[in-house]
A and B are shown apart, each in its own frame.
Chain A
Amino acid sequence: MSAQDTPLPPSYLVDTGSRKGLLAWLTSTDHKRIGLLYLASMLTFFFVAVGIGLVMRLVQLTAFSHLITAETYNALFTVHGVIMVFLFVVPGLPAVFGNFFLPILIGAKDVAFPRLNLASWYFYMAGATVVITALFTGHGAPDTGWTFYVPFSLHTGTNVSLAVFGAFLLGFSSMLTGINFITTIHRLRAPGMHWFRMPLFCWATYSTAWIQLLATPILAITLVLVILERVFGIGIFDPTKGGDPLLYEHLFWIYSHPAVYIMILPAMGAITEILPTFAQRPIFGYKAIAFSSMAIAGVGSLVWAHHMFTSGLSQFAVMTFSLLTMIVAVPSAIKVFNWVSTLYKGSIDFQPPLLFALTFIFLFCIGGLTGVMLGALAVNVHVHDTYFVVGHFHYVMFGGTGMAFFAALLYWFPKMFGKMYSKKAIYASWFPIFIGFNMLYFTMLVLGVMGMPRRYFHHLPRFDTGHDIATVGSWILVLGLVMFFGALVHALFKGEKAEDNPWGGVTLEWTIPSPPPQENFQEIPTITTEAYHFPQEEIG
């Protein structure tokens, strides 16, 4: 409040309240601090799951297969999936960059419900704690895969109930964040910030928030039913009690397929922010991109059963879901064309965020195209539940969302922390990340076409070569990740001071100091132009 009088209000990183240090962070309702709380917790979980992935790859080298038992392996891929999906990729960009930048991008001082926002983080941490407790208590870590398919998940003696309860809590975090963002966008836009003047990251976050709000309750209910079934044997899903296992698959994917779009839409949004800045020109086809986000959210909610083509669906269902799957590919293709066209006749400054954004486009295309293959019925029958699927969703989730997360981190890092990283170190880390990534996951695609099923502890000898290549790829990839985050951590402590607008961006976050002051804007700005308006006299 006193900010009006002093020339420079303190940055959000400085404790000004009665609480200091960690306590000040844990009780903060500042959207920027909450974003960083998510960032720190999420990256911790990410690295745990990366480590688990590394162990799984290692035991696929036949010489190391005796390191762990089949039971442990089954627990590892379950935990890897649960952590990566529920603790990293789903909350991913919305919780970190949505929290941090959504209010700034629309010219607001905070989200609509700051306390609820903090509560979401506590739900997230509670869910995470329960999931991790499930690994070390009861009769062993869950071994069902992250999909928890019944009836196996009902009969296995492992600690499924607790893990499922953790995922249930995480669902609440996701829903509350969704409500918060929807309300924020509807109510807190700065004067003159019309819907079609919002930066496209806001559109992406907005469509994501609707999916979070509408689809997550279905998961929550389904998970509760699994717990009730395990504890009281109510017989909704268990065929020996008259239940139907396919009902579970439907309910699970009614959430979990839209969840894929929860994961990828904000990533697309971040890429859409990065490209115009480094090309110094407006995004190509603003409305096409905004509407395609909403189209993906809408049609994407109607394609869930394409995960079940081999489960015995009716002929009509199979046909319908395959057709809808092809249609949902169209808006993604539209986005790709618009992104690439944004480079046309720009003035391109090839900085690290742009490198990772373009890497996103390349890897996401492979992820999308393999997705189209999976949507083609005659092909799906062969490659469903094989390494092809594993390779495909790693291209989308890691090559797509992961790379976009890295690109967004590189893009906004100077704004968030007021420090600049070593660009050379980031360029250097790109090579092992890119090479290792493709060695690991492209090989998985090939293995899948050859007939290597997923979630296999032992593999047949004819898959040895592929597994060896993939494992070496995983080492190279992890080396790249260590270099990447090493460079960022170094910058946090030793980095040079970043300018307020190091990339020449024109959206609102670049008009305020780095790092931003506590209430973002000393005076709420009035918006008079579209989102990507590059004033001409300033260039050249």
Chain B
Amino acid sequence: MDWIKEASTSAQKSDAVFFYVFALSVVFLVFITALMIYFVIRYSRKRHPKAEQIHGHTGLEILWTAVPLVLFLTIFYYGWTNYEYMRKAPADAMEVKVNARQWAWSFEYPNGKQTKVLFAPVNRPMKLEVRSLDVIHGFFVPAFRIKVDAVPSHTNTTWFQATRLGTYDIECTVICGVDHSLMLSKVVIVPEDAFKAWYFGGPDAPEPKPVPDAPRPAAPVPPPAVALMDAKGCLACHSVDGKPMVGPTFKGLFGRREEVVEAGQRRTITVDEPRLREAIRTPMKSVVRGYPPAMPAVALAPAELDEIVAYLKTLHAPAAEHP
């Protein structure tokens, strides 16, 4: 079944129920449809001019109440027992925290490692504790048939044990704002050795490589402020290279003249340091015209704010530097 990749033990459990219900459904649908067509032809007015006045049949009513009831109950039971398997992680599963925010996923391992992509060893259970920092999101890995909502103020859990090496999509399934459909990530399933080498290799260990993919070229190391903004989710909506995204790009922002909407009034401002700080701390107070009022207030330590503002100043418009 390659069009619906089945890459975890939970997927096997889910699909078994799916095909059971599917088979019953096909039988039922074909039976009902065939019967309808047969009756319409067999008892057409031409062939059967006089209708028989039948009012019903108690035996049949009981039969077609009881048989569907029993079948539905088997479906319930099969669905329930396999769901129990999908719900409860084995005790030896590694626990990884999944943090959802508009519009990015991040993963935090027990030893403190943080990633944007979920790395997991093949054939080992991994338990996920899913949380949200803002609105409701849905954590969904189609190839594993696992899904759980990330609900603010709740912690929901799910787990998986991958059966195949490879890279699989993570998708958000609960509408969470403008870039809901870009709230994607990947699960990378690697051999256990490769996972351990990364996990126990200290902070500088290279991330394990997805198996079928060719080795990736080494990415240039980003400045610490960029890593910070990535971790805080800023870069989900703002680019540093001028690429248009949900929010205005940071490139050339400092010193730029912008038209903002504040309390329904439009005014033009020049982006300076106080404006940057205000826009990060109280994003909804005044919003750049033409962009959605969608930015959440992000909790930043004073030192972090200073670092980001200092970095944004280095991205000022070339025209301002070389008049």
Q: Which residues of A contact B (CB under 8 A)?
A: 70-71, 74, 139-140, 143-145, 149-152, 155-157, 239-240, 244-246, 279-282, 284-288, 310-312, 315, 318-319, 322-323, 326-327, 329-330, 333-334, 336-338, 340-341, 343-350, 358, 361-362, 365-366, 369-370, 372-373, 375-382, 384-386, 449-451, 453-460, 534, 536, 539-540
Contacts and interface: CB of A to CB of B under 8 A. Distances in A.
Nearest to B38: A343
Contacts of A288: 56, 61
B86 interface: yes
A244 B143 CA distance: 31
5 contacts: A139-B293, A311-B149, A343-B36, A346-B52, A382-B147
Contacts of A380: 79, 83
A149 B174 contact: yes
A82 to B, nearest CB: 13
A345 to B, nearest CB: 4
B149 A369 contact: no
Q: Sorted from nearest, which 3 A-B pairs have the closest CB atoms? A: A451-B142, A376-B79, A157-B293
B284 A379 contact: no
Nearest to A358: B36
Given A157-B292, A369-B21, 19 more contacts: A149-B175, A151-B134, A245-B136, A245-B151, A281-B51, A282-B53, A318-B83, A322-B76, A330-B65, A334-B61, A350-B40, A376-B21, A376-B79, A377-B80, A379-B17, A382-B146, A385-B147, A455-B181, A459-B181
Contact of B294 (A157, A312, A336, A451): A157
Given A157-B294, A358-B40, A450-B4, A145 B147 contact: no
Nearest to A238: B152
Interface in B35-62: 35-36, 39-40, 43-45, 48-57, 60-61
A347 B48 contact: yes
A345 B147 contact: no
Given A381-B83, A381-B146, A333 B136 contact: no
A341 to B, nearest CB: 7
Counting chain B CB atoms within 10 Å of each CB, the highest count among A143, A150, A311, A346 belongs to A346
Contact of A365 (B13, B29, B86, B169): B29
B163 interface: no
A155 B177 CA distance: 10
A345 B51 contact: yes
Given A149-B136, A151-B152, A155-B134, A456 B64 contact: no
A346 B40 CA distance: 9
A460 B169 contact: yes
A347 B78 contact: no
B175 A281 contact: no
Contact of B171 (A139, A337, A453): A453
Contacts of B32: 336, 340, 361-362, 365
B3 interface: yes
Given A143-B178, A149-B175, A365-B28, A334 B64 contact: yes
A474 to B, nearest CB: 19
Interface in B143-197: 143, 145-149, 151-154, 156, 169, 171-182, 184
Contacts of A340: 32, 35-36, 39
Nearest to A315: B87
A152 B72 contact: no
Given A377-B83, A384-B173, A310 B149 contact: yes
Contacts of A329: 68, 72
Contacts of B22: 373
Given A286-B56, A386-B173, A453-B171, A347 B45 contact: yes
A106 B69 CA distance: 34
B93 interface: no
A358 B38 CA distance: 12
B18 to A, nearest CB: 5
A348 B48 contact: yes
A239 B156 CA distance: 15
Interface string B73-90: 101101110111011000
B79 A377 contact: yes
B53 A239 contact: no
B79 A379 contact: yes
B21 A312 contact: no
Given A379-B14, A449-B4, A156 B61 contact: no
A97 B54 CA distance: 28
Contacts of A311: 149, 151, 156
B51 A534 contact: yes
A455 B79 contact: no
B145 to A, nearest CB: 4
Interface in B1-29: 3-4, 11, 13-14, 16-18, 21-22, 25, 28-29
A240 B21 CA distance: 42
A286 B53 CA distance: 13
B40 A343 contact: yes
Contact of B140 (A319, A347, A372, A451): A451
A194 B11 CA distance: 54
Contact of B43 (A74, A327, A347): A347
A155 B294 CA distance: 8
A348 B17 contact: no
B111 interface: no
Nearest to B72: A326
B36 A346 contact: no
B138 interface: yes
